C-alpha cells in the first residue's frame, strides 16, 4: 500500500529527529517542509473540488 505524502513526511520527520541530535535549524527546516506539504494538499483538494472533482476520502487504518 502506498503511503500518502503527509505520511511519508511524518515518517522522515521522525527519522530525522533521531538523526539530527539537537540541530534546531535542521529540525525547523523539516517542520516547515511538512507544513508546506500539508498546505499544498489542502490547496490541491480545494482546487479539485472547485473544478467539479469528487471529494476523495482517505482510508483510515
pLDDT in tens, the chain (61 residues): 466 777 877 777 777 666 666 677 777 787 888 888 888 989 998 888 888 876 666 555 4
C-beta separation of 2 from 61 below 8 A: no
Structural domain count of the chain = 1
Residue 61 covered by a domain: no
Query: Is the pTM here over 0.75, yes or no?
Result: no
Enclosing domain of residue 13: 5-53
Residue with cell 511538512: 34
Q: Could you tell me the three cell numbers for 45?
A: 483538494
pLDDT at 9: 76
Structural domain contains residue 59 = no
Amino acid at each position: 500500500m502506498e503511503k500518502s505524502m503527509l505520511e511519508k513526511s511524518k515518517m522522515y520527520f521522525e527519522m530525522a529527529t533521531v538523526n539530527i541530535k539537537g540541530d534546531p535549524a535542521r529540525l525547523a527546516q523539516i517542520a516547515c517542509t511538512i507544513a508546506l506539504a500539508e498546505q499544498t494538499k489542502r490547496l490541491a483538494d480545494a482546487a479539485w473540488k472547485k473544478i467539479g472533482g469528487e471529494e476523495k476520502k482517505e482510508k483510515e487504518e
